[in-house]
Structure 1
């Protein structure tokens, strides 16, 4: 979609997501074998504008609300978790809301509705070039070097976002501080994809490592969602960095858990005859439904504060992050229960519950779901610790 076309409504976006999801069901094994989503799936998502849910409207995106992002990612993750994970990470296009207008225009001029792979941990360094070497007139130029792990969707990406630590020339390592980390936006042609994604779960997400060596990036093609406000005016770009990330991720787990419930119900009737098993899974299913309600309620609270007051309070953001983390933990319990109660049938590679079990636990390894992150959110709510605002 270009900036001159009509913005898709939430109803249209969700309707398209459901249509594409129906087409994806049954193709999960092929996605795993390819270790990346198919070109057909990627282009269907792109054509429907689903990689641009959070992209600013002036750049041709929908710039939609968090509830729609959660619901769309849920639908695709229900159909094929690897494709859903790739779509979720693809919402990194919304980080262009923190970049300059020039940066955004350059990205979408190359390809409308861009697929952007990202590595948000600062695994590389950006050496600040001496003035005699730097030709940029809008700030310094950074020479990027490093290797970034787990770049979902990278084999189809048009652009990459790579977090890096600024480093003075002649210094062995960056001096860490508030203004050290920036995010560089690079065309795919300047990034080398390494064939490293040989894993247990989310096999089809194409989350390979990438390498960047000696690429010079002008300051105008960088941004910092940690310490700089969004350049675009919409309320999405008044979210903190971490709240935006949680919005991207929240729909994945509930979609996967929903699929596990459906696969459990599809088991042969004889396998479901055990009353104790029925009651056990009934409780898990209710826990899943409650987690989804909590997720959307917490997202609505964040959105209400952002749209009315211009920002969301740390406690509100922490509760939203907690709801996302809770939905992941519940999804793990639901999938574990379905897998165990299914018996020997689920041991086979081709069984959906085995794939869901591998995928949900692979997702649980993400830092956003980790104990360190949960501790940080608990400190916000119980101790009033508002340090590291960008990570709340």
Structure 2
């Protein structure tokens, strides 16, 4: 792990924390938070060293994003998906597009494959004309470039084209107003008859297979900020229950004087620590794969179940902490309610869908194929 990156991440946490409320209110990471992350070099986590980046492995990314999540889960979410998107772009886009993505290692790069009905692309001499809407593009208002999946109605294949489009050619519809992770700028990208040159489009017939293991980058980089937010909640509640907070109408002067209060808290910590260990284990397995190798599908589903379990453990820890803190934890000015909302939303990312993973686990166990998930 890169200790200098982790130290840089820790130093940004006070700034992210100070601006977390503004980030949520403004529906996008606050300028001071963005400046702190950029100065720390954390928008270049997965950029190759030759292009001015850190080329961080997944273990380092998990550690860094967990630290950022202690300060602001929304900002950490954008940093994480920026890292994952830049890594995937190197697999999914043609060389000229990759060069554009890497031209500024500290830029923000957003991506989305969520396409609204009516969105489409038409091949024309020299490129692809694109119109449509692409929602949940995290970091949309910070990004300079976006990667979008473009349906080709007349192509005879359900596979979309992948296009790299400057944000200057798009507009952003501020549609992301959610209970949690409100500051991720996960808004909708809108294209109106935009011409994307050939060198910036991967058409289905030229698409290279993306290794299934590459999918783990996205899952890991959105889960780590949730673990960080849960750690921040642990710290906040620890201060409260060891201070002057007493259980209502009891003989105890502090929550921490109650044996079961202490047990509740240690259970929350155990779940959070276990979630981190599971997440790091998955990162270590994927990092350790030799170039060009592929995990068996049974191993891939087991690793995804590990991450889904870690996501659930974060939610369980938050519930225990809210029980200990009491109803005042839900007051607008209390950061605990923001941590709770962010974790509740972020751990329900589609990568962690527990019922589909449980179904696929059973299908593989009894050789009832194919799996329900295309991502395996």
Q: Which moved more, 1:51-60 or 1:181-190?
A: 51-60
Structure 2: give runs of 5+ residues left out of the alignment.
245-253
Q: CA deviation at 1:224?
A: 7.8
Among 144, 147, 156, the residue aligned to 2:142: 156
Q: Which residue pairs with 2:249 in the alignment?
A: none
Deviation of the 1:80 alpha carbon: 0.8
Residue 299 of structure 1, aligned match among 259, 283, 293: 283
Aligned equivalents of 2:176, 2:355: Cα separation in 1: 25
> For structure 1, which segment, 293-302 or 313-322, has the greater mean C-alpha deviation from structure 2 after superposition?
313-322
Given that 1:314 and 1:386 are in contact with CA atoms closer than 8 Å, whether structure 2 keeps it comes out as no
Find the counterpart in structure 1 of residue 251 from structure 2. Answer: none
CA distance in structure 1 between the partners assigned to 2:205 and 2:63 by the alignment: 26
Q: Which of 33-42 and 118-127 deviates more?
A: 118-127
**In structure 2, C-alpha distance between the alignment counterparts of 1:302 and 1:377, rounded to whole Å:** 20
2:66–2:226 CA contact under 8 A, matched in 1: yes
Change (3 A) 1:94 1:142: same
Match of 2:55 in 1: 63
Among 135, 159, 164, the residue aligned to 2:125: 135
Task: Please state how far the C-alpha of 1:156 moved relative to its aligned partner.
Answer: 1.1
Give yes or no for contact 1:339–1:346 (8 Å, CA) kept in 2: yes
Deviations for 1:234-275, whole angstroms, at most 9, x for unmatched residues?
xxx855342232232231222122112111101134233332
Asked if residue 280 in structure 1 is aligned to residue 270 in structure 2, the reply is: no
Residue equivalent to 2:250: none
- Change in Cα spacing, 1:75 to 1:227, as seen in structure 2 (3 Å) is farther
Give the superposed CA RMSD: 2.7
Aligned length: 361
Give the TM-score normalised by the residue count of structure 2.
Answer: 0.86
Distance 2:8 2:298 in 1: 34
1:88 aligns to what SS in structure 2?
helix
Match of 1:4 in 2: none
Cross-structure match for 2:225: 252
User: Aligned residue for 2:153?
Assistant: 167
Which residue is equivalent to 1:3? Answer: none
State the secondary structure of the residue aligned to 1:266: helix
TM-score, length of structure 1 as denominator length: 0.83
Aligned counterparts, 1:95-114, within 5 A: 95-98=88-91, 99-109=93-103, 111-114=104-107
**Aligned CA distance change for structure 1 residues 228 and 299 (closer, same or farther; 3 Å):** farther
Q: Which residue of 2 aligns with 1:265?
A: 238
Deviations 1:324-347 (A, max 9, x none): 222211111111211122112212
User: Any residues of structure 2 matched to 1:154-233 within 5 Å, and which?
Assistant: 154-168=140-154, 177=158, 180-223=159-202, 228-229=207-208
Match of 1:82 in 2: 74
- Identify if the C-alpha distance between structure 1 residues 226 and 30 changes in structure 2 by more than 3 Å, giving closer, same or farther: farther
1:54 matches 2:27: no
1:389 deviation in Å? 8.4
1:312 Cα deviation after fit: 2.8
